[in-house]
Each structure stands twice: as structure tokens, then as C-alpha cells.
């Protein structure tokens, strides 16, 4: 065992312990700081992605509904349908497992909409008390489905706690 009777050895020992403790404390502080910084950056990135996805779906569905009565805009209408399906499908990728239960109904609705099963989508929506605006009833099912889906995506975005 080392004898610490010598004040120089005692000073070296205390200084070494202090230096090692400082390095450990600094390393731990840096690791913790980096962890929380990365976590904050990821939350900001996710919030931005979700805003883009929800915003893209809303914009595409609104464009589709706006152009719905104009036959000469079929190319733009088809493009809006494709865009809406893309954004809706992307929204499923970002659901968290704990959200899956809450948004299972929405997931099913997205599947029906993106697979073009508009009539069945509308039937299921009516059972839940959701109907397209009068303007879109009795016309092409895609417009009625887009109207209901627009309402649903706004509702889901509003409920998504990651956006607040």
C-alpha cells in the first residue's frame, strides 16, 4: 500500500483523482447534452415532416375537390389524386406503434382510399356518421371520398400530439 505521508505524493494523488473525476464528469455531461440535443433535433425534424405530409395531403385533396366540377382539368385532377394517395400513404409510415391503436380506423380508411375503393370507403364512412358535402353526393365517388378524407386528415392532424 502506498504511503501518503509525503505531502508531494499526497498532492499528486489528490490532483490525479480530481483530474480523473473532472474528465468523467465532463464526458458524462457531454454525452447527456448530446443525447438531449439530438432528441430535440429529431423532434423538430419529425414535426416538420409531419407538417409537410399532412399539409401535402390537405392541399392535394383540396385541389382535387376544387377542380372536381371542371372536365377540362382531368390531368390536374388525376395528378391531385396521385399526390393525395402519396401523402396519405406517407402519413402511415410516421405513425408510432402506440398511435397505431388510436389511428387504426384511419389506417383502414387510407388503405381504402389509396387502393381506389371509394365506394366502400364512403359506405364505411356513412356508418360512422361521416358524409361528403351535398355537392359531392351522387357524383363520382372519388370526389365524395376525397371530401370525407379531407375532413379525416384534418381531424387526425389536429389530434397528433407530435405537432404541438
Chain centroid to CA 146 = 20
CB atoms within 10 A of CB 31: 10
Which residue ranges of the chain lie beneath pLDDT 50? 1
From residue 62, how far is each of 78, 81, 140, 150 by CA, in Å? 13, 10, 16, 7
* pTM for this entry: 0.79
pLDDT at 7: 74
Give 77-108 pLDDT, tens digit per residue. 999 999 999 999 998 888 776 666 667 888 89
pLDDT for the residue numbered 4: 61
Amino acid at each position: 500500500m502506498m504511503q501518503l505521508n509525503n505531502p508531494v505524493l499526497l498532492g499528486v494523488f489528490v490532483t490525479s483523482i480530481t483530474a480523473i473525476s473532472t474528465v468523467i464528469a465532463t464526458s458524462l455531461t457531454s454525452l447527456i447534452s448530446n443525447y438531449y440535443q439530438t432528441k430535440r433535433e429529431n423532434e423538430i425534424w419529425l414535426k416538420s415532416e409531419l407538417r409537410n405530409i399532412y399539409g401535402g395531403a390537405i392541399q392535394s385533396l383540396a385541389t382535387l375537390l376544387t377542380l372536381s366540377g371542371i372536365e377540362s382539368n382531368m390531368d390536374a385532377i388525376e395528378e391531385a389524386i396521385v399526390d393525395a394517395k402519396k401523402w396519405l400513404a406517407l402519413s402511415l409510415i410516421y405513425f408510432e406503434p402506440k398511435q397505431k391503436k388510436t389511428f387504426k380506423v384511419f389506417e383502414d380508411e387510407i388503405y381504402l382510399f389509396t387502393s381506389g375503393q371509394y365506394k366502400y370507403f364512403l359506405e364505411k364512412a356513412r356508418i360512422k356518421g361521416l358524409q361528403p358535402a351535398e355537392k359531392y353526393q351522387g357524383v363520382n365517388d372519388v370526389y365524395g371520398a376525397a371530401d370525407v378524407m379531407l375532413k379525416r386528415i384534418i381531424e387526425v392532424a389536429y389530434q397528433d400530439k407530435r405537432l404541438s
